[in-house]
Structure 1
Amino acid sequence: MSALQYEDLHQQVYRILKQMILTGELAPGIKLRQEELAEKLGVSRTPLMKAFSKLEKEMLIDMIPRRGACVHKCSKQELLDYIDIRMRLEPLGARNAAKNHSPEGLEAFRLSLNKYEEAVSKGDQSLIKEADYQFHMRIVDLSSNKVLGQIISSFNIVIISNQRGLLKDPIISLNEHKSIFRAIESRDADAAEAAMTLHLTGLKARIESIESII
């Protein structure tokens, strides 16, 4: 196998595992058994361990000496800390998205909103979580800030995976998503920043009000 093919393989494994964490197929706290995952994905342990290393750097899994790897499980306070950081970064992303979006990028953003609305209409929590993640990542894409994208991607996955059910009424979230979309579409940077801040403030308040997250 060439170096390029090998690089592609461990990147593919990384993306698959990341998706499994996002959807809850690999739940917080679950032990990641190398033999089972390698067999399931049809790979050797080497690309699997390289994927583990990348996921650990993104704080999505924990590597414990002599015990192996497990999906990272957050405390309530840790989730609130993640939200605090998101509240400082994502409004900036929304502001920049309003300023920088292209017609093609905006259309992809519109499709992500439509997929979220479709998921809400179906009432499927797994689909809603996935669509919510994609909606927020589209905003980061429109902002043209790759560093912001790398940070927000991991933070959002940690928050989405470390919750039982949905933290907010999906209809409320849908209406807030529509407000964010309209502000970005109209290139109103102030309104986009304010709409995102309101959206995340509601999420933080919800986390603060409940006793058990997962």
Structure 2
Amino acid sequence: MAKIKNDRLVDLVYEKVKKMILDGALIPGEKINKIELANILGVSITPVNEVVNRLTGEKFIDKVNGSGYFVKKLTFEELKEFFAVRAGLEGIAIRLCINELSDKKLKEFNNFFNKFILPLDEEESKFYLKTDQEFHEKIINLCGNSIIIDFNKNFNFIMKSYQKGLIRPPEETLAEHREIIKSILERNGQKAQGLIMSHHLKSREVLKTKHLKY
């Protein structure tokens, strides 16, 4: 029974630390202080050690020999790869949503992006970023394909791609999001797939041509 309890504790610490990384509470490039982390979470150093090793294997944390562990800071090339993956997987996922979901479920997508009016102020821009994340996560989570869902859950490729915020501004992407939603509600799978792939590949092109400081 003790091992079960310990395993549950490790899993709980794992989820909390991963969330801290994805939410930005642990900043990309920041050195991991295991003792401080254990104190924050109210646990011993043992589960923290296990979790850090696990997250290192999952590429959330980098181990630098002689220096310690650091929150992974995505490179320019890695971000480009994330958007290529998103274009392919979300393209498939959106077609599955359209093919499998009820009209009632599809209408849930209509709640995204309909209240934004350009230009956005600072607070509205933060809310837009959050809405953007939730919209794309929903496409994956409602597609009904356990492999796609687990792949995103294990690698968090959607959330990781927001490490430096939005690649393109709402002035460019708001209309694209609304067109994607329109095609979802019309059950036009081919159009929706094309639109969402184009949406991500445009962001990838920006990463290819614009020098961003990562």
TM-score normalised according to structure 2 size: 0.81
Q: 1:52 to 1:144 in 2, by over 3 A?
A: farther
How far has the Cα of 1:30 moved from its partner? 1.1
Q: Is the 8 A contact 1:82 1:159 kept in 2?
A: yes
User: Which whole-Å deviations, capped at 9, do the CAs of 1:86-138 have from their partners, x for residues lacking one?
Assistant: 22222111111111224664465455x259959x9563455444432222111
For 1:5 and 1:99, how far apart are their aligned partners in 2?
42
Unaligned runs of 5+ in 2: none
Distance 2:107 2:45 in 1: 40
CA contact (8 A) 2:113 2:131 kept: no
Q: How does 1:120-199 map to 2 (within 5 A)?
A: 123-124=122-123, 127-153=127-153, 154-161=156-163, 163=164, 165-199=165-199
In 1, Cα distance between equivalents of 2:60 and 2:104: 31
Q: Is the 8 A contact 2:113 2:178 kept in 1?
A: no
Please tell me the residue identity of whatever aligns with 2:161: I
Aligned equivalents of 1:212, 1:131: Cα separation in 2: 23
1:88 and 2:88 matched: yes
The answer for unaligned runs of 5 or more in structure 1 is none
More helix, by proportion: 1
Q: Which residue is equivalent to 2:210?
A: 210
Q: TM-score, normalization: structure 1?
A: 0.81
Counterpart Cα distance in 2 of 1:4 and 1:13: 14
Instruction: Write the distance in 2 (CA, Å) between the matches of 1:212 and 1:116.
Output: 30
Contact 1:167 1:203 (C-alpha < 8 Å) held by counterparts: yes
Kindly report the root-mean-square deviation, in angstroms, between the aligned alpha carbons of the 2 structures: 2.9
Distance 2:127 2:57 in 1: 26
1:140 counterpart letter in structure 2:
I
Identical counterparts, % of pairs:
27
Could you list the per-position Cα deviations for residues 150-195 of structure 1 after superposition, in whole angstroms to 9, with x for gaps in the alignment? 333522222211x2x5311124323222222222233221122011
What is the CA deviation profile of residues 130-150 of structure 1, one whole-angstrom value per residue up to 9, with x for unaligned ones?
432222111011111222123
CA distance in 2, matches of 1:116, 1:20: 29
Q: 1:115 to 1:152 in 2, by over 3 A?
A: farther
Asked if structure 2 preserves the Cα contact closer than 8 Å seen for 1:28 and 1:71, the reply is yes
Alignment of 1:96-115 (within 5 A): 96-102=96-102, 105-106=105-106, 109-111=109-111, 113=112
